[in-house]
Amino acid sequence: MSVSSHLLTDEQMRQFISRGYVILRTALPKEFYESLNAKLSEVMEKEGNPGNNLLPRLSEINDILQDPVVRGGLTSVVGENYSIHPHRHCHFTYPGRKVQHWHKDSYWGHQKVRHHHNWWAMIFYYPQAVDEEMGPSGLLSGSQYYTKRAGDDTERPVYMEGPEGTFALIHYDLWHRGMANRSQKSRAMMKFQFVRMEAPTGPAWNNRQADWLQVEDGSIDHNVLWSQQWRWHRGESGAAANGSPHEAAEMTALADELASKYEPSGVDAAYRLAANADDAIPVLSASLTSGNATAARNAGYGLTAVGLAARGVLLDAIRHESEDARMHAAFALGELGDGRLGSAEEVARAVADPSVQVRRAAVEALGLIREPAGAILPALIEGLTDGDGQVRFTAALSLQRLGSRAAEAVPALQAALRDENRYVRANSVDALRRIGTVEALEIAFDYLSVHRWCPLTTSENLF
């Protein structure tokens, strides 16, 4: 079966954008699941959880990741050229496991501006059938755009139940939790993460409709926000006009909402303001530099939605005295992906910012800006030696996104293969692979040869 025949439909893509997930199922044979579950149970019982070594320990799991349904869904939301993140984990729960708290996963550190655009995705995969008693994974529908839970009756928990091969393809920032296992059976949920390498230049799903169709699903109305995400996935920049421009009084009211403690209102206000395009820029700029952390965050999202017309105020804000202004300006400039030299130079300068949060945003933004490499590479090479692990991790990811443009960074990436942080090392290997020169590939292969892990070697089977 080809991947193209398993791309998401417009209806599925609308659900992914508005609710943050779609439920799909692979069609691997029953014998595959029986064999995998028997091996998985034995490993958990005798050796414990293999953690990030899940794939080499149970190599048949790669058949799942190569399944056309999985690849078609991933291609639809993170593009054809996605990268498989080095973290993977099997949540294996025995009878009696208690319910988890609702949470978002970290980016190996929670101090990060979270993307509304879908740069990361996850898969929650069931190798066996799961029902309500077995403690299914819970998802908070539509919560991927909030840093905090709404905590009111707009929250709509969804619980994954289904036969073996069922999986949820979710936005990385969706709130989720594992439920209590009240059954007499163990259950497994295998989690994998995936990273988009470049911004969309056109729809990657089976797109038949150009415009966003209004979604009425009983939750808060975020159709302006969702429409912007739809356009981004279609490779369209800037905010689309949504109805008549707001009057001055309405603009003032929306600007006040940017600082709202009720996050759904603040987020919605950012995108409604952005729909006013140029008229919204002064209002959003004032909130970005206001010193209010909530208003600055939402203004960053709004200026991102405005598009390249906001570039000037963002370049000013990245030098502002407010740490929040600098951080969210770097974030937004990365989202704009503007490769003009002025943007790259200003964001590159921010890699030396005294604030670690600004540095984290800057090294990620450089990987999204991508051009010109001459302005970007020295800053990312500097980022590989930063004292903060998340800066180093993200600098290596950005070099991975640059691909062949990052050849100058090969010596720095080779040095990073000795980093104390496992994900810095893993991203550095993947960056070398994507650079693809003979030198880069030799370094990567030498490293992997030395560090290869034998899935058959256990305390009971040493040779």
Amino acid at 330: A
Give the whole-number percent of the chain exceeding pLDDT 90.
86
The confidence score (pLDDT) of residue 151 equals 86
Tokens encoding 316: 């000013």
pLDDT band at 457 (very low <50, low <70, confident <90, very high): confident
- Whole-angstrom Cα distance, residue 260 to residue 103? 22
What is residue 217's DSSP assignment?
S
Each residue of 340-377: pLDDT tens digit? 778 999 999 999 999 999 999 999 999 999 999 999 99
Per-position DSSP letters for 99-157, written without gaps between them: PPPPB---SSSS-SPPPSS-SEEEEEE-SS-B-GGG--EEEETTGGG-SS---STT--E
Q: pTM for the full model?
A: 0.95
The confidence score (pLDDT) of residue 341 equals 76
Q: CB–CB of 162/132 below 8 Å?
A: no
Using N-to-C axis directions, what is the helix angle for 438-451 and 422-435, rounded to 10°?
Answer: 140
Q: Is the pLDDT of residue 1 over 70?
A: no
The dihedral of CA 52, 460, 189, 165: what is its sign?
Answer: positive
Q: How far is CA 434 from CA 32, 268, 431, in A?
A: 32, 38, 5
Each residue of 379-390: pLDDT tens digit? 999 999 999 999
Q: Does domain 3-195 have CATH number 2.60.40.1120?
A: no
The confidence score (pLDDT) of residue 463 equals 81
The confidence score (pLDDT) of residue 419 equals 97
% helix, strand, coil for the chain, step of 5: 50, 10, 40
Q: CB–CB of 281/305 below 8 Å?
A: no
The confidence score (pLDDT) of residue 240 equals 67
Q: Is the pLDDT of residue 243 over 60?
A: no
- Per the rule left: phi > 0, alpha: psi between -120 and 50, beta: everything else, 201 is alpha
Candidate ranges 147-151, 317-321, 336-340; pick with highest mean pLDDT: 317-321
- Residue predicted with more confidence, 117 or 218: 117
pLDDT band at 338 (very low <50, low <70, confident <90, very high): confident
Q: CB–CB of 190/127 below 8 Å?
A: yes
Label the pairing between strands 157-159 and 137-140: antiparallel
Q: Is the pLDDT of residue 436 over 80?
A: yes
- Whole-angstrom Cα distance, residue 22 to residue 166? 11
Is the link from the previous residue into 372 a cis peptide, with omega within 30 of 0? yes
Q: How far is CA 75 from CA 17, 69, 189, in A?
A: 15, 10, 22
Tokens encoding 190: 């295998």
Q: Is the pLDDT of residue 272 over 70?
A: yes
pLDDT (mean) for 423-443: 97
Each residue of 390-412: pLDDT tens digit? 999 999 999 999 999 999 999 99
Which residues, in sequence order, are CB contacts of 57 under 8 Å at separation 6+? 43, 50, 455
pLDDT band at 118 (very low <50, low <70, confident <90, very high): very high
Each residue of 152-186: pLDDT tens digit? 888 999 999 999 999 999 999 999 999 999 999 99
- Whole-angstrom Cα distance, residue 174 to residue 161? 18
Element (H, E) at 177: strand 176-178
Phi/psi of residue 170, each to 5°?
-130, 155
Q: Is the pLDDT of residue 125 over 80?
A: yes
pLDDT band at 461 (very low <50, low <70, confident <90, very high): confident
Per-position DSSP letters for 49-68, written without gaps between them: --GGGHHHHTTTHHHHHTSH
